[in-house]
Amino acid sequence: MNERTVTLNTGAKMPIIGLGTFLSEPQKVYEAVKKALKVGYKHIDCAYYYKNEKEVGKGLQECFKEGIKREDIFITSKLWNAFHRSELVAKGLEKTLEDLQLDYVDLYLIHWPFSQKPGSEKFGENLEEVPILDTWKEMEKLYKSGKAKAIGVSNFNINLLKDFIEKAEIKPAVNQVELHPYLPQQKLVDFCHANNIQVTAYCPLGRASNPKDLDDPIINEIAKKNNMTPAQVALSWNVQRNVIVIPKSVTPSRIEENFQIKELNKEDIDKINSITIRSRGVDHLKHLNLFPDYADL
Ligand SMILES: NC(=O)C1=CN([C@@H]2O[C@H](COP(=O)(O)OP(=O)(O)OC[C@H]3O[C@@H](n4cnc5c(N)ncnc54)[C@H](OP(=O)(O)O)[C@@H]3O)[C@@H](O)[C@H]2O)C=CC1
Ligand SMILES: O=C1CO[C@H](CO)[C@@H](O)[C@@H]1O
């Protein structure tokens, strides 16, 4: 199952499992990237905001020297909220490319659907209004320049996407949102798929949620029965609905474990779908009070 890919609206294939890098300390992420590519990952999820792209880049370059080909690896990065002004979008990507030591990224996402003043590093400080479609126009230019082989969004709900799909010249290839058994957001996933937008699950192990998906008795029972770990069950569940997963780990054994997923039978999938506990771990938008329909995000 770990060899599966999804096809983007550009025709490119995106590996269904990638390595997440948020909160991965710089020196650890360097080792994590090397370990991941060694055990077969072909996809790394990065962001300017994570402040470790230089070390991700170092790890990638070392792997390329050892024979892994750049074109076989799928790299995602994200435009930080402080680079939404038209004149800053290309600069945001340039900084990322410089840090990653790459000529292009395979996918570049608008990280959040709101803007912060230039120079803002802390989430949610110094908000400012920049029309998101102006930012998107610049993203389209990056796509046309070849520096971003595909472009997409993150943390968009159905309402925000509807407007995009209507007005954007180039439609978003991907929407990256929080998805795990305690936050399935099936309506959003279905909407994206119906509109040829692939979906990436962040926090696929429920890192920020409370209660924890990985402690759930149903997930644990299914794991035990199938000789899997709870993490593998949570990842397989998303992959089996064609959702890309980007579990983060800096622990070598977990990096390997998260790549060894197995097909669950329909009965197990139905059981996971019958779980009614809901928990959103990343709920900044609620606190910023920016989107009245946040609940749908
Ligand atoms: N677009 C966006 O706004 C967002 C994007 N992201 C992206 O999604 C990625 C994944 O989400 P993230 O928030 O990191 O959360 P995850 O759900 O991937 O959980 C990561 C946590 O789980 C631990 N872990 C990893 N593997 C296992 C395992 N097999 N068993 C038990 N625990 C495990 C990790 O610990 P350890 O490392 O110590 O092994 C880490 O503490 C991010 O790293 C980032 O790339 C995340 C949030 C928001
Ligand atoms: O990518 C991200 C990682 O997770 C954070 C929340 O804990 C988000 O704020 C951020 O967008």
Residue ranges of domains in the chain, CATH in brackets: 5-290 (3.20.20.100)
Q: How confident is the model over 205-260, as pLDDT tens digits? A: 999 999 999 999 999 999 999 999 999 999 999 999 999 999 999 999 999 999 99
Q: Which residue has the tokens 């990842």?
A: 235
Bridge partners of 210? none
Prediction ipTM score: 0.99
d(CA 176, CA 198): 8
Q: How confident is the model over 3-62, as pLDDT tens digits? A: 999 999 999 999 999 999 999 999 999 999 999 999 999 999 999 999 999 999 999 999
Ligand 1 atom nearest the C-alpha of 154 is 1
Produce one character per residue of 148-173: b if its CB has 16 or more CB atoms within 10 Å, e if not: bbbbbbbbbbbebbeebeeebebebb
Ligand 1: centre distance to CA 246 (Å): 7
Decide: 181 in ligand 1 pocket, CB within 6 A: no
Decide: 35 in ligand 1 pocket, CB within 6 A: no
d(CA 110, CA 88): 13
CA proximity to 58, closest of 41, 44, 72, 79: 44
Decide: 43 in ligand 1 pocket, CB within 6 A: no
> By alpha-carbon position, which residue is closest to atom 32 of ligand 1?
231
Ligand 1: centre distance to CA 208 (Å): 9
